[in-house]
Structure 1
Amino acid sequence: MGVVVPLRETRSEPASIQNLVDLTAGGMEAVNQLILSKAGSNVELIPEIARHLISSGGKRLRPMLTLAMADMFGYSGEGHVGLAASVEFMHTATLLHDDVVDESDMRRGKLAARKLWGNQASVLVGDYLLGQAFKMMVDVGSLEALQILASASAVIAEGEVMQLGAAQDLETTEERYMQVIEAKTAALFAAAAEVGPVIAEASDADRAHARAYGMALGLAFQLVDDALDYGGSAADLGKDTGDDLREGKITLPVILAIRRGKPEDREFWSRCLEERDVRDGDLDRAIAIMQETGALTETIERARAFGAEALDALRGLPAGGQREALAEAVEFCIARVS
């Protein structure tokens, strides 16, 4: 996984993606306009549900990766806007689907769409957004970018099914867990970063560096999310803390805590995760076990290692404002747990 290196060297200010936001502001304005127009439909429920989630916040990090990477290589067309909007629609669709599968009640501080309109409507609107994403990809006219994002869509679905199979299974291995998060989270980060250089007709080496950056950033992002679920805040996480425990998800902090914990702790994990019997005080006990076993610390250290990999990949890309902002995005993702 590489050597863990400090992500912050001489800076004293809090980690931020403001530089990335500023550099991509013009492109993101066009992306947001396109998103709102493509979320429309004569079927009233579709824009209602879509806009509920789209307008509820989120940093739009994935589409910003596409824009920044395209700008890095001097792209001057409009295709990166369509690809960035496609990336965000893919992400939004997965959130709608995930909340149904996970039976989540909250999303980004609001009631999940499924709680307001039901599971069927949420799934179908997610499907609609995926369809719109692919229409935008086709409109861009880059067969290679379409192939990258279409492949990512299939991989994400595979990851969700893998996670479903691993849920409530205390025998889930670290290897299996890493396969799940690489597919369900990191694949879209990787694709979002790669299609920027593709649309700009960058070299194969540059595309590979961009993809490696996105993949490592996505893995770090998910590991931090999994740690935050056992000790972060709902604001940092974008959903309720403790949801992973209540939903029976086997994440790396759980895997490490089970492996390193006491025999009697396994009975606790079995009741909470396999039997889905989570009681008052169980989240506090889970966090205590993770602190005792070093599971949370180890998870964060692994996130930092993937952050270092992302920075290594960036060093192979052209120097400048975009590269610096993308490096700060790595720091920001990791700093959510500090």
Structure 2
Amino acid sequence: MAAQIVPLPRKQPEASIEPMLAITASGMNQVNQVILDRMQSEIPLIPALAGHLISGGGKRLRPMLTLAGAQLVGYNGTRHYKLAAAVEFIHTATLLHDDVVDGSDLRRGKAAANIIFGNPATVLVGDFLFSRAFELMVEDGSLKVLKILSGASAIIAEGEVDQLTAQRKIETSEERYLQIIRAKTAALFAAASRISAVVAECSEDEERALDEYGRNLGVAFQLVDDALDYDADAAQMGKDRGDDFREGKMTLPVILAYARGDEEERIFWRAAIMGHRSSDEDLAHAVTLIAKHGAVEETRERARHFAARAINALACFPDGKARQAMEQAARFAVARGY
């Protein structure tokens, strides 16, 4: 019987990504070597542009989920190294494409690839990394793994298109928002977690448990990202504060503040989301309104709910370092300030 979901406490000083980093450190060395090898090309621009982002200091949480999941289920082979690299290539490709779509200036605290190399090169190198990811999947030889990761790639693209069509639409509902982040973010978290059970030839129940863990962790992670856009400065986030605001994205803090605001506040939000109120002063006003209605804290509260569901999904696995590290990763996802 599955354990009852226990909401995570608001203050979690023990929440840390360090246990996850510790148990995956050796494996990530193998993954990083695959990444380094497979991002090479006879066309110098490709490794230069890909390396700009890949070496940019990201947490690499998604490939770590594949490695941690493999430890959780007792897998002792090596297939998961290439698959974890494929996961990271898929993620990196989507970031490159996102920065072009969003017109981003910063990524992980430094100039985005599209600012340095231009939009055409950034899109094409993203395509190259997608292709490399599929090469790695095919080399693995498992049709089930290929189905999971290719399916996740399609869902991510659908989520990004869905987000684009919802952009600057003030009527976007919380349900629609959750649908978008389940696709554009949580799908890859779920796939990265699930494939470790596939290579270990685990039961369907264990596969589903790891899928559930990753999916809920992904939702929690994105909720906190969206909260931080109205709650942290650019130095913490590694991107321009207010990016979502200026791009007219209807994230949960805005959806909640708009729903709870009076008519004067709603007039402001309608103008802002349409792009007519996008100055620094307008952003400051938006942050004030979001704070007034407790929208950042409530967004974090929703994230704690999904993190608790992620932890609950691991109840069918024996306790140990891997499970504890994965539980800590879920707590870290909602407690982080960056």
Bucket of the pairwise TM-score, normalised by the shorter protein: over 0.9
8 A contact 2:217–2:307 mirrored in 1: yes
Q: What is the correspondence of 1:143-154 to structure 2 with a 5 Å cutoff? A: 143-154=143-154
Partner residue of 1:86? Answer: 86
Counterpart secondary structure, 1:241: coil
Which has the higher mean CA deviation after the structures are superposed, 314-323 or 227-236? 227-236
Between the aligned partners of 1:221 and 1:203, the Cα distance in structure 2 is: 27
Structure 1 distance, partners of 2:61, 2:225, is 15
Shift of 1:8: 8.1
Letter in 2 for 1:159: G
- Render the CA deviation track for 1:261-316: whole Å, top value 9, x for unaligned: 11111221122211354113111111110111121121111001001101110112
| Counterpart code for 1:318 | P
Q: Does 1:36 align with 2:43?
A: no
| Cα distance between partner residues in 2 of 1:296 and 1:8 | 13
Aligned to 1:246: 246
Q: Answer whether contact 2:186 2:217 (CA < 8 A) is retained.
A: yes
The whole-number CA distance in structure 2 between the counterparts of 1:188 and 1:235 is 27
2:130 corresponds in structure 1 to: 130
Distance 1:232 1:307 in 2: 21
Closer, same or farther: CA 294–198 of 1 in aligned 2, 3 Å: same
- What's the offset of the Cα at 1:84? 0.3
Contact map agreement 1:23 1:322 (CA 8 A) in 2: yes
TM-score, structure 2 length as denominator?
Answer: 0.96
Work out whether residues 247 and 275 of structure 2, in 8 Å CA contact, stay in contact via their aligned partners in 1. no
Alignment of 1:186-335 (within 5 A): 186-335=186-335
- Does 1:5 find its partner at 2:15? no
Q: Deviations over 1:3-43 (max 9, x none)?
A: 6623589x755x32111111111110010011011010011
Contact 1:108 1:235 (C-alpha < 8 Å) held by counterparts: no
What letter is aligned with 1:108?
A: R
Distance (whole Å) between structure 2 residues aligned to residue 4 and residue 312 of structure 1: 8
| Change beyond 3 A, Cα 1:323–1:7 | farther
Contact 2:110 2:238 in 1 (8 A): no
217-226 or 16-25: bigger deviation: 16-25
1:156 aligns with 2:176: no
Where 1:318 maps in the other structure, the secondary structure is coil
2:17 counterpart residue number: 17
Aligned sequence identity (%): 55
Using the TM superposition, give the Cα deviation of residue 238 of structure 1 relative to its aligned residue in structure 2, in angstroms. Answer: 3.6
Secondary structure at the counterpart of residue 24 of structure 1: helix
Letter matched to residue 248 of structure 2: G
- 8 Å Cα contact 1:227-1:253 kept in structure 2: yes
| Residue 181 of structure 1: aligned partner | 181
Aligned to 1:100: 100
Letter of the structure 2 residue corresponding to residue 313 of structure 1: A
Moved over 6 A (4+): none
Query: 3-state DSSP class of the match of 2:316?
Result: coil
SS in 2 for 1:202: coil
> What letter is aligned with 2:98?
D
Moved more, 258-267 or 206-215: 258-267
Q: TM-score scaled by structure 1?
A: 0.96
Which consecutive residues of structure 2, in runs of 5 or more, have no partner in the other structure? Answer: none
Which amino acid is the alignment partner of residue 82 of structure 2? Answer: G
Tell me how far apart the structure 1 counterparts of residues 136 and 52 of structure 2 sit (CA, whole Å).
21
**Which residue is equivalent to 2:27?**
27
For 2:117, the equivalent position in structure 1 comes to 117
- Give the RMSD, CA atoms, in angstroms: 1.6
Range moving further from structure 2, 74-83 or 104-113? 74-83
**Given that residues 220 and 333 in structure 1 are in contact (C-alpha distance below 8 angstroms), is that contact kept between their aligned partners in structure 2?**
yes
Question: Using the alignment, how far apart are the partners of 1:235 and 1:76 within structure 2?
Answer: 40
Write the letter of the residue equivalent to 2:58.
Answer: G
For residues 308 and 299 of structure 1, the distance between their equivalents in structure 2, rounded to whole angstroms, comes to 14
Question: Is residue 168–residue 274 contact of structure 2 (8 Å, CA) maintained in 1?
Answer: yes
Q: Which moved more, 1:235-244 or 1:53-62?
A: 235-244
Structure 1 unaligned residues grouped into runs of 5+: none
User: For this pair of structures, how many residues does the alignment match?
Assistant: 335
Give the Cα separation in 2 of the matches to 1:12 and 1:217.
19
Match of 1:62 in 2: 62
Check whether the contact 1:248–1:276 (CA below 8 A) recurs between aligned residues.
no
Q: Give a deviation string over 1:82-105, Cα, whole Å, max 9, x none.
A: 110000000000100000111110
Distance 1:211 1:327, change over 3 A: same
Structure 2 match to 1:168: 168
**What do residues 111-132 of structure 1 show as CA deviations (whole Å, max 9, x unaligned)?**
0000001111111000000000
Inter-partner Cα distance in structure 2 for 1:238 and 1:309: 28
